[in-house]
Chains A and B, each alone.
Chain A
Amino acid sequence: MVLIVNGERQEVEATDVATLLRDLGFDGSFYAVAVNQEVVRRARWGEIRLAEGDSVEILTPRQGG
């Protein structure tokens, strides 16, 4: 199915957040994830079902002022 991952359309097999991160090579330790502008806590990455057209934001710590 097609998801919008960090603003870009992407064809994916994954149907949950944990699998999506693994499939896309997000193998660092520090991520926060929102699906359709709602936070998905790390503990629920394996539970949340992704649907066609969902918008997924994958964020990490960055420099800030």
Chain B
Amino acid sequence: MDLYGQSVSSRLLIGTALYPSPAVMEGALKASGSGIVTVSLRREAAGGRAGDSFWRIIQSLGAKVLPNTAGCRTVKEAVTTAELARELFGTPWIKLEVIGDDETLQPDVVALVEAAATLIRHGFEVFPYTTEDVTVATRLVEAGCRVVMPWASPIGSGQGIVNRNALRTLRARLPDVTLIVDAGLGAPSHAAEAMELGYDGVLLNTAIAKANDPVGMARAFALAVEAGRAGYEAGLMPPRDFASPSTPVVGTPFWHAAG
């Protein structure tokens, strides 16, 4: 898929949070085959080395890094965090999150569009985390976003795709934009469903990190993404209301023999 002119082979983007240990994280990231990992910026304690050790692991993986603005609530916070991320990680990519509601972590889409426009003017390549609303997504594209990332359901909820029709509409209305389902995927089948809908990729974290076996689950998601994409490319049959026999009717034994 195309991410701001860069061709990426894996359609799976993986978060780096919530793993039981750095070693498990490393194993899961490798098993996922993902070439892109999300990271954040946080305050460091004086004398602390948590940032240094984490960053060395990420660098050793050779993956592209997509920094986020997680936790930001205003345009100003998000823009400043993005500027800090560019300084720290040396990439113009930013996963833009502007949170509007604490309980659902629903994006503040009004602030999101404004922050995206500002960041694009500042030379960023913005990956906005948004809802499935087609008008908001269109505004983001008009602001200059070439990637849009609608949620499947609230972050960390694992509910999967709760508004399938809206995601299908979004895909149909924005055929030329790279669309990535971000957040809410709980099972490999959810990821496959997103890919079958024609999405270019999926981004997830909790479903892998919180599995009993994160490394095994990372592989399961990689297979699901590949299967879903292959299914989409092969062209799914349209559903219908009634049965249609798959076995030929002509030549059925005992046909009309009774009576």
* Chain A complexes with chain B: yes
Q: Give A residues with C-beta under 8 Å from B.
A: 6-7, 24-34, 37-39, 41-42, 57-65
Task: Please measure, in the bound complex, the distance between the C-alpha atom of A23 and the C-alpha atom of B85, giving whole angstroms.
Answer: 24
Q: Contacts A30-B51, A37-B76, A64-B16 given; indicate if A58 touches B88 (C-beta within 8 A).
A: no
Q: B15 in the interface, Cβ–Cβ < 8 Å?
A: yes
A61 near B88 (CB under 8 angstroms)?
Answer: yes
Q: B155 in the interface, Cβ–Cβ < 8 Å?
A: yes
Q: Contacts A7-B43, A60-B42, A65-B17 given; indicate if A42 touches B52 (C-beta within 8 A).
A: no
- The chain A residue sitting closest to B88, CB to CB, is A32
How many residues belonging to B are interface residues under a CB distance threshold of 8 Å? 40
- Distance between B252 CB and nearest chain A CB, rounded to angstroms: 55
Q: Give B residues with C-beta under 8 Å from A.
A: 15-19, 25, 38-52, 54-55, 58, 67-68, 70, 76-77, 80, 83-85, 87-89, 155-156, 205-206
Q: How many A-B residue pairs have CB under 8 A?
A: 111
Residues on A with C-beta less than 8 A from B83 are: 34, 39
Q: Top 9 closest A-B pairs, CB basis?
A: A60-B51, A64-B40, A65-B15, A65-B205, A32-B88, A63-B17, A25-B47, A62-B42, A28-B52
- Distance between B217 CB and nearest chain A CB, rounded to angstroms: 15
A62 near B54 (CB under 8 angstroms)?
Answer: yes
A64 near B67 (CB under 8 angstroms)?
Answer: yes
Q: Contacts A24-B46, A26-B47, A30-B52 given; indicate if A61 touches B58 (C-beta within 8 A).
A: yes
- Distance between B195 CB and nearest chain A CB, rounded to angstroms: 20
**What would be 22 A-B contacts, judged by CB atoms less than 8 Å apart?**
A6-B44, A7-B43, A25-B47, A26-B44, A26-B46, A28-B48, A28-B51, A31-B88, A37-B76, A41-B87, A60-B44, A60-B48, A60-B50, A60-B55, A61-B41, A61-B51, A61-B58, A61-B88, A62-B54, A63-B17, A64-B15, A65-B68
- Distance between B154 CB and nearest chain A CB, rounded to angstroms: 12
Task: Please measure, in the bound complex, the distance between the C-alpha atom of A28 and the C-alpha atom of B80, giving whole angstroms.
Answer: 22
Interface of chain B, main secondary structure: mixed
Q: Contacts A6-B43, A60-B41 given; indicate if A39 touches B87 (C-beta within 8 A).
A: yes
- The chain B residue sitting closest to A30, CB to CB, is B55
Q: Contacts A62-B54, A63-B54 given; indicate if A28 touches B38 (C-beta within 8 A).
A: no
- The chain A residue sitting closest to B49, CB to CB, is A28
Task: Please measure, in the bound complex, the distance between the C-alpha atom of A9 and the C-alpha atom of B46, giving whole angstroms.
Answer: 13
Q: Contacts A60-B41, A64-B39 given; indicate if A42 touches B87 (C-beta within 8 A).
A: yes
Residues on B with C-beta less than 8 A from A31 are: 44, 51, 88
Residues on A with C-beta less than 8 A from B17 are: 63-65
Residues on B with C-beta less than 8 A from A64 are: 15-17, 38-40, 67-68, 70
